[in-house]
Amino acid sequence: MKIFAVFGNPIKHSKSPIIHQLFAKQTGVLQNYKKICVPINGFYKIFFSFFKNGGIGANITIPFKKKAYKLCDILTERAKYSGVINTVKIINSKTILGDNTDGIGLLKDLQNLKFINPKSNILLIGAGGAAQGIIYPLIKFGCNITIINRTYENTKKIIKFFKNVKKINSFKLEDLFLFHNKFKYHLIINATSSSMKGNIPNIPSSIINPDIFCYDLFYNFNKTPFLKWCLIHGAKKISDGIGMLIEQAAYSFYLWHGIMPNTKIIIKKYKKYI
């Protein structure tokens, strides 16, 4: 039986094993998929040990996506232009292939929700690996992206990485408070870890209105703190990241097995587990 895993810290909340179990049952694939909590300073050791002991592929989540990127021998196009990865596959027992399925998974979910079109202006909150990993497919689709983050230095690093891309810009968080009435956004994406900690990103409430779409990359049994806050301030169209989670997992599954699961069926079944 082929062995797969998801690496992260924290990892207890991860629903990836459930999703991949549903994929395996739907497609008839035999696999063992587990979650591994990795010490913050122990990623390299556990990563290579897993593959040395028979691991075939893995998903990478917070906070190791940038570290894993540097370990890959070859990269898919979307991984190369993201600067982070969330999926790896071992080829010929030695070559590490890195992919990023987060962005394409998010785009697929946003399209399913009808939250996005090629002319959408997106306000992206956050400048970590989660944010960086979703930018390339959204820009390729045609969207314009503005990044804000409480630490502007981190924002500048992402802008530097995408220095030749015209449809991405950023400004300081305080400028959003000063000039928010001058900006019109169709979609706000929370890519910070605030929802995992029970917090809300620091953005002006006046930017929320009934016509704007609000999306949280993270998910919860109930609405995330960010989505609750958006509803309080007038949002009517919200979604957490459950759909993205399933869509990105499907692209990982396809990379490993060459079979694309039917995600619409999986989303319905998945809701029984939460």
- Tell me the CB-side half-sphere exposure of residue 124, using CA atoms within 13 A: 29
Residues annotated as catalytic are 65
Residue entry with tokens 């809701």: 271
- Strand ranges of the sheet holding 31-37, from the earlier edge strand across to the other edge: 31-37, 2-8, 55-60, 87-91, 95-99, 74-75
Q: What H or E segment, with its residue span, contains residue 238?
A: strand 237-239
Residue entry with tokens 């909340």: 13
Do 101 and 87 meet the contact criterion of CB atoms below 8 Å apart? Answer: yes
Task: Give the three-class secondary structure for 228.
Answer: helix
Do 16 and 33 meet the contact criterion of CB atoms below 8 Å apart? Answer: yes
Report which of 178, 199, 62, 71 is spatially closest to residue 131, judged by C-alpha positions: 62
Alpha helices in the chain (DSSP H): 16-27, 43-52, 65-71, 77-80, 102-113, 129-141, 152-161, 173-179, 225-232, 242-257, 263-270
Do 99 and 113 meet the contact criterion of CB atoms below 8 Å apart? Answer: no
